[in-house]
Amino acid sequence: MHAIRIHRPGDPSALIYEEVANPEPGPGEVRVRLRAAGVNHRDIWVRQGVFGDFPDPLIPGSDGAGEIDALGPGARDYAVGQKIVINPGLSCGRCVFCLSGQQNSCAYYHIVDGTYAEQIVLPVQNVVPMPSGLTFIEAASIGIPFVTAEDFLARAQAVTGQTIVVWGANGGLGLATIQLARIRGMRIFAVVRSNSYVDRLKQIGASDVIVWDGKTSLSSNIMNMTASKGADIVVDSLGEKSFMQSLEMVRHGGTIITVGATTGGKIQMELGPFFRRRLTMLGAYMGSSAILPRILPLFSRGTLLPVIDKTFSLSDAQAAHSHMESRGLFGKIILDI
């Protein structure tokens, strides 16, 4: 098969298109003929070596959709040819967190790598039947962003009538957050860097779109729009560039969700106002394995929409990463395999 492999961390040129041996499924595993892979910001961090050492070679990519093409011994419930979506969390399956459906709190939790390839082998519990009405490209766009957003909204106890600020609203995670907040009946302030996104964000469900120049503070805008209360929840995926503003714009007793830190992760803050204002800071990283099978039917019914910015062929993964790092996107980048 063909795959994208990384031998050494680096810039997009570290993604090498190569011919590699077909993987064989072991007991309880299935082999998937991938048809599409979703590109996530996590893949850039993997490529850059941010998570530390990795095996050489490593096939990146966590989200994907395709067809079962071989079953290992004891892999039941699926047949060759069945269309599936990858559920990208791996965990021990035995600890109290796994047994209570909080797999992403398991000490052994990690996210699948290996979808930038024509084939991948996975435990049978990591595939979910693909719902009707979706293309492979659409199905590959859902996993990490929607699972992550659904998990943190549930943990933040987001409810009807609350206000939520979404930084980086034009990215895959931002658009997933907006849609899941919309079906909860929240008032959504979407923050972006360009006017060109405003109409599309309103169609997706943003109540108000704020175009930020990257320099000025947005907290006064949010205070004006919330009758000086501040927002109930702020979803901050930027980190260094936005976090101090997130602290200013969240209401007393409100919640800041930190997820991603794409502009850097170092901040310095005073704890006094933080505890006196009874704030909650919630770190978000993926979610329960139950979320993906539960939300996929909402895409068949049109309640949730996959938003695709651009597709690239597998051999063009370098261009796909360069496009993602240019930050001028709206929705997901997908590799068409």
* Interface with Zn ion (CB under 5 A): 91-92, 95, 98, 106
Contacts of 80 (CB under 8 A, 6+ apart): 67, 68, 69, 70, 71
Q: How far is the CB of 100 from Zn ion (least distance, A)?
A: 10
Q: How far is the CB of 112 from Zn ion (least distance, A)?
A: 16
Q: Give 36 or 98: the residue with its C-beta nearer to Zn ion.
A: 98
Q: Give 97 or 299: the residue with its C-beta nearer to Zn ion.
A: 97
Q: Give 99 or 159: the residue with its C-beta nearer to Zn ion.
A: 99
Q: How far is the CB of 23 from Zn ion (least distance, A)?
A: 24
Q: Give 98 or 259: the residue with its C-beta nearer to Zn ion.
A: 98
**DSSP helix/strand/coil, 306:** coil
Q: How far is the CB of 136 from Zn ion (least distance, A)?
A: 30
With CB atoms as reference, the residue minimizing the distance to Zn ion is 106
Q: How far is CA 33 from the centre of its chain?
A: 22
**DSSP helix/strand/coil, 275:** helix
Are 119 and 22 within 8 A, CB to CB? yes
Q: Give 98 or 284: the residue with its C-beta nearer to Zn ion.
A: 98
Q: How far is the CB of 102 from Zn ion (least distance, A)?
A: 9
CA dist., res. 216 & res. 336, Å (int): 39
Q: Give 98 or 257: the residue with its C-beta nearer to Zn ion.
A: 98
Q: How far is the CB of 147 from Zn ion (least distance, A)?
A: 17
Contacts of 14 (CB under 8 A, 6+ apart): 6, 7, 8, 47
Q: Give 101 or 265: the residue with its C-beta nearer to Zn ion.
A: 101
Q: How far is the CB of 104 from Zn ion (least distance, A)?
A: 10
Classify residue 272 as exposed, middle or buried by CB count within 10 Å of its CB (0-12, 13-18, 19+).
exposed
DSSP strands (E only) in the chain: 2-6, 15-19, 29-39, 63-71, 83-86, 89-90, 110-111, 119-123, 127-129, 163-166, 187-192, 208-211, 231-236, 250-258, 280-283, 308-313, 332-336
**DSSP helix/strand/coil, 200:** helix
